[in-house]
Chain A
Amino acid sequence: MSSRALVFIIPIIVIAIFWMMARREARRKPDPTRKGFFERNGVVLGTVFVLLVGFWTLFLVALPYLYMVVESFHPALPPMKRGGPDDVLTTAQYASFLVNPINDSINWLHMGALLFSIIASIAVTALNFAICYPLAYYMAQAGTAQKVRLLMLGLIVPYWVNEILRAFSLRLLLASKGLINQALMGLGITDAPIDFLGNNTGLYVGLSYAYLLVMMFPLYNAIESLDKNQVEAARDLGAPWWRIHWDVVIPYAKPGIASGCTMVFMLSVGSLAAPQFLGGPRTLWFTAVIYDFFFQSFNWPRGAAYAFIMLVVCIALVLGMLRLFKVSLGEAIR
């Protein structure tokens, strides 16, 4: 129990450190015009603010995350044995990601699933950027206000339909008896239906479809603030259209591009619905592996360890990419 109790002490220590730093600073450089927090907001309101935010940041965010990490360093035990002598700290759950504990062979299955999820998500991110960039540019720079509002509305309406039903609609379209196969066979392009779901076309389309808006809005916001005169100037100086985009628009919109790509990538790796409903029968998405540890084998610590591995790998990848393209994290998550 001690390692789990430790989780509760960490935030107390962090808060205490900042508290003492603030006190020391106040004593060193007294500022009579500065008001204390409770003076500033009133005792009642100030207390309510602190309680609300304290509950959220501690009990809904920081503590559950830390607790999950600690849990992943424990063995999977039946409820009766938890907190008993068998409940020791162990890295076995992490080791099981590399080496399968059942037959001591390298765990290609799970490592492959993580790799596949990441590569497919990168592909989906690139695809969405390619699809969204022209429309984002058109709306931000070329379209009239009236047209832009209409296009915006057209973008938002489909996203009121939830993720599951959108995946369902794509399945209807792409199934072997679906409209696309009917059309292809009707036109005589193919004789037998193409298995779009089995060959993962459905998966890529589904992921791209699900996160189109997540790419669109950061791109639009970034390009919108670009001064139209800059594009004009480049055009007057004789730059071809692709150089205008490559040398003027894209460098300017880099933080927006970074933020759109980061969000699409993270959402796509962590998605559950599209791989479940549109992936082929042999396709294993990493979240599905985690899902099975929770609901099939009831091995929560191992599921937690896998979730943590996924989070760390993804964040490392995103930070690496941001550094490569020289964008700061602050710009990207604004």
Chain B
Amino acid sequence: MSSKAIMKGMIGFYILLFFGYLFGPLLVMGVTAFNTPGYPQAYPFEAFTLDWFVKLYNHRNMMDGLKNSIVIGIGVVAISVPVGLAASIIMSQIYHRARGLYYLITISPLLTPGVIIGISTVIFWRDVLSVTDVTRGLFYKGIVLTILGQASFISAYCLLIFMARLTRFDRAQEEAALDLGATYPQVFWHILLPFLKPAVVSAIVIGFLTSFENYNTTTFAILADKTLVTVLAGEVRQGTTPALSALAVIIIGISIIGAISYEVVKRQEQNRAERAQRQAILAERGEIAATA
């Protein structure tokens, strides 16, 4: 009995340590965002201030970078989600001997270091776009190359998300629609796509966030432009300012709100599903009683 209590205590202590490791650095950084000294310092806490948030807002480069990051994120999602969807459908229909190679190619961006994706994108597209002066002038830009580079691996994430959802697709639904005279494109638009809707939503969210966060591929592909993350990297390399802590506080705040609302929605959905199930069981019982 007592050994069990010791075991429980040890597990609790370990979980505490684990989450201390996970959150500790972020908490300390959070405190420095509200402290007055110019060098980010958590202790001693001299005086409460919100100046660093104002400084952050007035930071031109960061705001420009933020705008570019959003544009790139939207561009990447616009390419990667349709590509991932199409790729998941082709995965099930491709000539069976070619499937191994196809799988390898589609999954390889996930195993390739981001640095290499960035380099290969720049080297390849520099020459392709340099074929004419017009294309070079129009498209040889950091934002365009970053979208292309990021889309190469984010499409693979989307593919995996769609494939996971497709394995749960009930083929009988498709057959029923076909028997009732629907064409294949109709099946796609009215049955498959609605079924995939949750996967589309998660692909959009995960794709955008991954793009927004990316550093390794972006530093190479961004050329002379900048994103929020590359501006941040420049700032961190130059030194340390509590304005960076302030930015982290904002990001953590948004993510906690996001996480909590996600949890609430999920719980509501679960309750609704449970209630529906209970009602279905009751209804069935009622029917059985009626026929008996």
A interface residue numbers (CB < 8 A to B): 4, 14, 18, 21-22, 37, 39-42, 44-45, 48-50, 52-53, 55-57, 60-65, 67-68, 71, 131, 134-135, 138, 142, 149, 151, 153-158, 160-173, 175, 177, 179, 182, 209, 212, 262-263, 266-267, 269-273, 276-277, 287, 290-291, 294, 300, 303-304, 307-308, 310-311, 314-315, 333
Contacts and interface: CB of A to CB of B under 8 A. Distances in A.
Contact of B233 (A276, A290, A294): A276
A71 B123 contact: yes
A56 B153 CA distance: 10
A67 B113 contact: no
Given A60-B148, A272-B219, A177 B39 contact: yes
B201 interface: no
Given A61-B108, A138-B11, A153-B263, A160 B22 contact: no
Nearest to B23: A158
Contacts of B24: 173
Contacts of A68: 116, 119-120, 123-124
Given A64-B124, A172-B32, A262-B111, 5 more contacts: A168-B236, A169-B248, A173-B25, A209-B22, A277-B237
A179 B25 CA distance: 10
Contacts of A171: 236, 240
A290 B82 CA distance: 33
Interface in B220-274: 220, 229, 232-233, 236-237, 240, 244-245, 247-248, 251-252, 254-256, 258-259, 263
A164 B25 contact: no
Interface stretch (B53-61, B84-92, B280-288): B84-92
A162 B95 contact: no
B28 A41 contact: no
B29 A172 contact: yes
Contacts of B107: 333
Contacts of A4: 127
Given A67-B123, A161-B26, A164-B229, A179 B255 contact: no
A81 to B, nearest CB: 14
Interface string B106-125: 11111111111101110111
Given A41-B184, A49-B90, A153-B263, A67 B127 contact: yes
Interface string B148-192: 110110010000000000000000000000000001110010000
Interface size class of B (residues with CB under 8 A): 35 or more
Given A164-B215, A182-B43, A270-B216, A311 B113 contact: yes
A156 B123 contact: no
A158 B119 contact: no
Candidate in A149, A164, A308, A315 with the most chain B CB atoms within 10 angstroms: A164
B244 A135 contact: no
Contacts of A37: 93
B41 interface: yes
Contact of A177 (B41, B115, B116, B263): B41
Contacts of B39: 177
Interface string B15-47: 100110111111011001000000111110000
Q: Which 10 A-B pairs have the closest CB atoms?
A: A270-B113, A160-B255, A42-B185, A64-B120, A68-B120, A60-B152, A64-B124, A169-B29, A169-B25, A49-B86
Contacts of B110: 333
Contact of A172 (B28, B219, B220): B28
25 contacts: A18-B101, A42-B183, A45-B184, A49-B90, A53-B90, A57-B105, A61-B106, A63-B124, A65-B116, A67-B124, A138-B11, A158-B22, A165-B247, A167-B236, A169-B25, A169-B29, A172-B245, A209-B22, A262-B111, A267-B113, A273-B216, A290-B119, A304-B123, A307-B115, A333-B110
Contacts of B32: 172
Contacts, number: 242
A61 B152 CA distance: 6
B14 interface: yes
Nearest to B10: A134
B68 to A, nearest CB: 15
B98 interface: yes
B102 interface: yes
Contacts of A163: 213, 215, 229
Contact of B232 (A18, A61, A165): A165
A154 B256 CA distance: 10
A53 B83 contact: yes
A41 B116 contact: no
B120 A65 contact: yes
Contacts of A209: 21-22, 25
Nearest to B112: A311
A162 B229 contact: yes
A158 B20 CA distance: 11
Nearest to A132: B18
Contacts of B111: 262-263, 266, 315, 333
B97 interface: yes
A73 to B, nearest CB: 12
Contacts of A52: 82-83, 86-87
B262 to A, nearest CB: 9
Nearest to A213: B22
Contacts of A61: 105-106, 108-109, 152
A247 to B, nearest CB: 20
Contacts of A269: 113
A322 to B, nearest CB: 12
A22 to B, nearest CB: 5
A40 B184 CA distance: 6
Contact of A179 (B14, B42, B256): B42
B223 to A, nearest CB: 11
